[in-house]
Amino acid sequence: MSLFNSKTQTRPVNNGNNFLAELALATIHDGVIITNRAGVIQSINPAAVIMLDCGGAENALGLDYGLLLKLESIEGRELSENENPLIQAMRTNQQLENYAACLIAGPSAKRIPIAISVVVANNNENNKIITFRNITKELAEESEQAEFISTASHEMRTPVASIEGYLSLALNPQTATIDERARNYITAAHNASQHLGRLFRDLLDVTKLDDGHLRPHFEPVEMVGTVKRISDNYITAARNAKLNFQFGSNNPAAINGISKLNQVVYSYVDINFLQEIMNNLIENAIKYTPAGGSIYINVLGDGDRALINVTDTGIGISSDDIHHIFQKFYRADNSDTRTIGGTGLGLYLVKQRVEAMGGRVWAESAFGEGSTFYVSLPRISGEEYEKRMIAINNAKMVAPQAPANNINQGGQQ
């Protein structure tokens, strides 16, 4: 039995082999709770008692963990049981690793940001070890860092745009006369300034998404027409890159075994997020596919999901790199990618935006043969779509507003 089980003791005494382990638990700043299979608290360390503000170990022992460990999302949103990873991990005996949430602690319901983990013991009792640590300081540091990057990017964007503008003028035969050598130098400088401009724009988006300032504004959307319209903007760029570009081709390699062309697929998404996601995936497909290759884009309804795929026959991604490409600043490093410009932020931004809309993004690829990026978003029924559209139109009639986004809802109106 753990020494912390004692109703009177909160400090371990040296009377057994577990002394050092007990001492460690008694002195660390992380909260540790051990429950039985059913989630009843068997043991609680002093840091957990303080963080949970439960007045003493004796008040916690024998209680269901859920009575003390009440969580809301890190942004302060209420979590339903299905959305609460702690409840899910405890119910299904799954591990949970460093989930960032807000703890609602003690009688005063004080909010404490924590990172919480669950480990299930491989013993008969299936004990669960819940650990949680206060991340207030980490969040403050991250937020300061983000603030700095955001201010710096914002300040640098304007001069970079101006440099890019003047270099464009120098390259334009109608506004400047330059010799061939100068043209080569200025072209290189122009490309670099465009790269820098893109980097600052992506960095600004990263900081806004990371600190929750860029929240999705959901609206009902017909996905097939909308994604087609976004894709159509790239027909010229693909042609210039000598690529075959098809929307709705139902390319067999594109969607695993689902063959439902000409569907109408409804979703409830942020249209600007969707546009940015598609821009990134299509620009990458063009960038990483050598001339003569093909790009296929499809949207399909797959049960309760709307599934988009962007498939290319380009350079592909190695099995080592594929696990990292959605990380911040990650770029696959090989002879092909070294000559292709990029910031390594695009796919990170795609992931952030997709997840903010309750979706999932992943890639499948064969190195040297091509890649498929999938985006799966929650789907809504036709009736749900109609209902939401009527609600929006009614709200507009009550309070007239400026016209909505230039991408409409897929020609359904």
Residues that bind ligand ADP (CB under 6 A): 280, 284-285, 288, 312, 314-317, 325, 330-332, 337, 342-348, 371
User: Which string of b and e fits 330-367 if b means at least 16 CB within 10 Å?
Assistant: ebbeeeebeeeebbbbbbbbbbbbbebbebebebebeb
How many Å apart are CA 314 and CA 331, to the nearest integer?
Answer: 16
- What residues does 32 pair with on adjacent strands? 131
Cβ of residue 378: shortest distance to ligand ADP, in angstroms?
Answer: 24
Cβ of residue 327: shortest distance to ligand ADP, in angstroms?
Answer: 8
Nearer Cβ to ligand ADP (268/288): 288
Nearer Cβ to ligand ADP (222/321): 321
Cβ of residue 181: shortest distance to ligand ADP, in angstroms?
Answer: 30
Nearer Cβ to ligand ADP (119/237): 237
Nearer Cβ to ligand ADP (331/379): 331
Q: Do residues 299 and 359 lie in contact, with contact meaning Cβ atoms separated by under 8 Å?
A: no
Return the structure tokens found at 229: 């319209």
Cβ of residue 312: shortest distance to ligand ADP, in angstroms?
Answer: 5
How many Å apart are CA 180 and CA 332, to the nearest integer?
Answer: 34
Cβ of residue 326: shortest distance to ligand ADP, in angstroms?
Answer: 7
Cβ of residue 152: shortest distance to ligand ADP, in angstroms?
Answer: 19
DSSP 177: -
In terms of DSSP bridges, do strands 96-105 and 110-120 run parallel, antiparallel, or are they unpaired?
antiparallel
Which H/E stretch holds residue 162? helix 136-171
Amino acid at 229: R
Nearer Cβ to ligand ADP (16/368): 368
Q: Do residues 336 and 409 lie in contact, with contact meaning Cβ atoms separated by under 8 Å?
A: no
Nearer Cβ to ligand ADP (51/315): 315
Name the E strands within 341-396.
Answer: 360-366, 370-380
Cβ of residue 340: shortest distance to ligand ADP, in angstroms?
Answer: 7
Cβ of residue 367: shortest distance to ligand ADP, in angstroms?
Answer: 9
Nearer Cβ to ligand ADP (30/283): 283
- In this chain, which residue has its C-beta nearest to ligand ADP? 342
How many Å apart are CA 169 and CA 325, to the nearest integer?
Answer: 36
How many Å apart are CA 363 and CA 308, to the nearest integer?
Answer: 12
How many Å apart are CA 108 and CA 373, to the nearest integer?
Answer: 47
Amino acid at 78: E
Nearer Cβ to ligand ADP (132/234): 234
